Amino acid sequence: MTNTLLDIAGVWKAFEGNSVLRGLDLSVTRHEAVVLIGASGSGKSTLLRCINGLETVDAGSILLAGDLDVSAFKTDMDAVRRRIGIVFQSYNLFPHMTVLDNVTLSPRKVLKRSAADSKEQAMALLERFGLAGKASDYPDRLSGGQAQRVAIVRALAMEPELMLFDEITSALDPLLVGEVLDTVRDLKAGGLTLIMATHEMGFAREVADQVCFLDAGVVLEKGTPEAVFGSPQEAKTQEFLARILK
């Protein structure tokens, strides 16, 4: 059995005639943490949305675990999303539900778990990330860091094979970034496969197994953090890093 969890080949995606992804290739092995870096508009978010079917690709293929083709015409996207979790920059918690209900909604309705089982699982997850005391609060009582951690727990409750993080710390107060990154660090240590778009270069360097620099819709340069951050080969990578690390 191959150890490749996700195989992306030649993916194109355009919005109103504007190509955001231009034949992008990317391969992710199990338990790997892939960090996507690159300027705004380089295609990081679009790529993540294509991976879990929130956007349909124009060309190319996205193969999950060698058996599920996300890009095929007739793929059941709900099945894809059951296996791939995503966390957004803006949390998108459901404001009319308590934290606990936010977390248990999908396990109950999609996985058809009993209320008791899903509650038990949710409480265990909330406990693990120091959020048990917030279970019966509504989202507007949470700090940004807490809300984002709840969003992560909500995605984890579906026990995804792959987690996508789309600039999850970009909307946070600088003081709250740490607690969210700790959560991701914890998940990485637990062996979860994850792809993360971020501007937190220090964190990327620490956690990533593979760093991919996206530019104009393709992976321009990839490699270990040491290689990409230490001795970037491409002029555009050097320029980007020089600007962001200044």
Partner 1 sequence: MSGWPVPRRRTSRSNVTLVTSATTAPGAPEVYFDPVRQAYRRKRARRDALVGMASLLGFVLVVGFAISRTSGWPLVQETFFNGSEFIATFPGLLDAFLLNVRIFLIAEPLILIIGLLVALARDLRSPLLLPLRVVATLYVDIFRGVPTILVIFLLGFGVPALQLQGVPNNTVFWGTAALVLSYGAYVAEVFRAGIGSVHSSQRMAARSLGLTSLQTSRYVVLPQAVRNVIPPLLNDFISLQKDTALVSVLGPIELLRQAQIDASSTFNYTAYVGAALIFIALTIPMTRFADWVQARMRKRRSMAGTA
DSSP state of 151: H
For partner 1, which is the closer residue by CB, 53 or 232?
53
Minimum distance from residue 110 beta carbon to partner 1 (Å): 4
Distances (CA, A) of 112 to 70, 100, 103, 159: 23, 16, 14, 14
- Written as six digits, the tokens of 47 are 């790529």
Site string for partner 1, 37-66 (x = CB under 8 A): ---------------x-x------------
Place of tokens 């059941």: 76
Minimum distance from residue 74 beta carbon to partner 1 (Å): 16
Burial class from Cβ neighbours inside 10 Å (0-12, 13-18, 19+) for residue 243 reads exposed
Asked if 31 is part of the footprint of partner 1 (rule: CB under 8 A), the reply reads no
Q: Tell me which of 74, 96, 112, 243 binds partner 1, using CB under 8 A.
A: 96
Place of tokens 């690159």: 38
- b or e along 36-49 (b: 16 or more beta carbons within 10 Å of the residue's beta carbon)? bbbbeebbbbbbbb
Asked if 220 is part of the footprint of partner 1 (rule: CB under 8 A), the reply reads no
Task: Give CA–CA dist 204/121, Å, rounded.
Answer: 30
For partner 1, which is the closer residue by CB, 195 or 218?
195
Q: By CB under 8 A, what part of segment 145-184 binds partner 1?
A: 147, 154-155, 158, 171
- The size of the interface with partner 1 (CB under 8 A), counted in residues, is 32
Binding segment toward partner 1, per CB under 8 A, in 10-18, 59-67, 80-88, 221-229: 80-88
Q: Give the torsion sign (CA, 174, 35, 65, 182).
A: negative
**What is the contact surface with partner 1 in residues (CB under 8 A)?**
52, 54, 77-78, 81-82, 85-86, 88, 90-96, 105-106, 109-110, 138-144, 147, 154-155, 158, 171
